[in-house]
Amino acid sequence: MEIGFVHIGMMKTASTYMQNVWMNEQNYSLSWRGNFELLENLRNSVKKNKLNPDIKINIRTDMPYKQGEKIVISNEGFSSAFMNEPEHQKKIPQFIDLSSRVLGKIATISPNLLIIVREPYSWIKSVYIQAIKQGWSGTAQEFIDNQADLIVNGLDMRFIYKSYARFFRNIVVVPFELLKKNESDFWEVISDKFNLPAISVKISPLNESLELEKVYILSRLNEISRFIVKALKASKTYNFIQEKEKILGSVTNDGKWVNRRFLEHGTEEEINEIKNILNIRSVPESFLKFILTNEQKEKINNNYNLFLKTCSTNQDIITLYNMV
């Protein structure tokens, strides 16, 4: 089996769309679900402060491999970690370091690494909305205030790039905006830089976004769920321990999916009824607004914007990302 390249992406840079292209392109074989086990092992190891890079690399292709296909190992999860887990987010640099050392073993087979980047402000908004989809609640400013380490570390491209550059000799950085601007150019850059077959498959862009109003409703529903779970965990009268652990574990793991799937698949009438129950008339102006501190701006500018200027000759990156 021949590995074409590793794609570590960044969160919210069309990874799902790209993975669907690689899944359906006859010259490629995708490993996405096939690397979930490795990703989970890396996350758990960092949480437990076990930073030994001798983690078994058990990577499989999502579909049966055919002779001659180029394997793409793709997961944006290798670029960051611990969304909605603020207590672990200071360990993100350790996670990046460990992930790069483990995946670096693949560099002996293929030196190619693809990183997709995105303009910081739109990236932050998309990550915030994704956090709500995964159970978070509150305004964008509250998200920034509570998960600042996720944002600052997620945009520390200087550290991400240099960690992986210890092992991968051919790193290609491509802006997400190029995909939106000219899809053919986007795929051509990747194929040319890695000397791999051109992409011929055309797939309609996947639309996984929720309308802003639904995102706000989801935030409110998540807020209620989190309040109930917190109250029951702290309850001194709820002493049926086995039942308590079972119920709270189920809500914590699956409750966010119940709320999200309802907003994705509920009828207009059902959603209007929820709006009435929650007394929602409109989305508050403050919901998506946020302000970064001067310290956060300086870190993002130095470690993301300015670093991309120095490490890339792609003018799109230079022009698009001088915004903080």
Distance between CA atoms of residues 284 and 126, nearest Å:
18
Long-range contacts of 37-46 (CB under 8 A, 24+ apart): 38/102, 39/75, 39/77, 39/78, 42/78, 42/81, 42/95, 42/98, 42/99, 42/102, 43/81, 43/82, 43/95, 45/98, 46/81, 46/88, 46/91, 46/94, 46/95, 46/98
Considering the domain architecture, whether residues 220 and 83 belong to the same structural domain is answered as no
Q: What is the pLDDT along the chain (324 residues), one digit of tens a residue?
A: 799 999 998 999 999 999 999 999 999 999 999 999 999 999 999 999 999 888 888 899 999 999 999 999 999 999 999 999 999 999 999 999 999 999 999 999 999 999 999 999 999 999 999 999 999 999 999 999 999 999 999 999 999 999 999 999 999 999 999 998 899 999 999 999 999 999 998 887 666 678 999 999 999 999 999 999 999 999 999 999 999 999 998 888 888 899 999 999 999 999 999 999 999 999 999 999 999 999 999 999 999 999 998 876 554 554 455 544
Q: Which two tokens stand for residue 61?
A: 């292709």
- CATH value at residue 156: 3.40.50
Asked, for residue 243, whether it belongs to a domain, the answer is yes
Same domain, residue pair 161 and 258: no
Whole-number Å distance between alpha carbons of 111 and 6 = 9
In a domain, 217, yes or no: yes
Q: How far apart are CA 119 and CA 305, in angstroms?
A: 9
- Tell me, yes or no, whether 39 and 102 share the same domain: yes
Determine the Cα–Cα distance for residues 145 and 124; give it in Å rounded to an integer: 12
Q: Both 177 and 148 in a single domain? A: yes
Query: Alpha helices of the chain — where are they, by DSSP H?
Result: 15-24, 36-47, 92-103, 120-133, 140-146, 148-154, 157-165, 176-181, 183-194, 212-234, 241-265, 268-277, 294-300, 306-311, 315-320
The answer to whether the CB of 6 falls within 8 A of the CB of 23 is no
In this structure, what is the dihedral angle of CA atoms 309, 189, 165, 68, given to the nearest 10 degrees?
Answer: 180
Quote the tokens at residue 12: 């919210």
Cβ atoms < 10 Å from Cβ of 222: 23
CA-closest candidate to residue 67, choices 6, 2, 112:
2
Q: What single letter denotes the amino acid at residue 187?
A: W
Residue 145 belongs to a domain: yes
Kindly state whether residues 143 and 232 are assigned to the same domain: no
124 shares a domain with 65: yes
Both 192 and 227 in one domain: the answer is no
Residue 184 CA to residue 173 CA, distance in Å, equals 16
Dist. CA 95–CA 99, nearest whole Å: 6
Instruction: Give me the domain span that covers residue 19.
Output: 2-207
Q: How far is the C-alpha of 222 from the C-alpha of 132, rounded, in Å?
A: 8
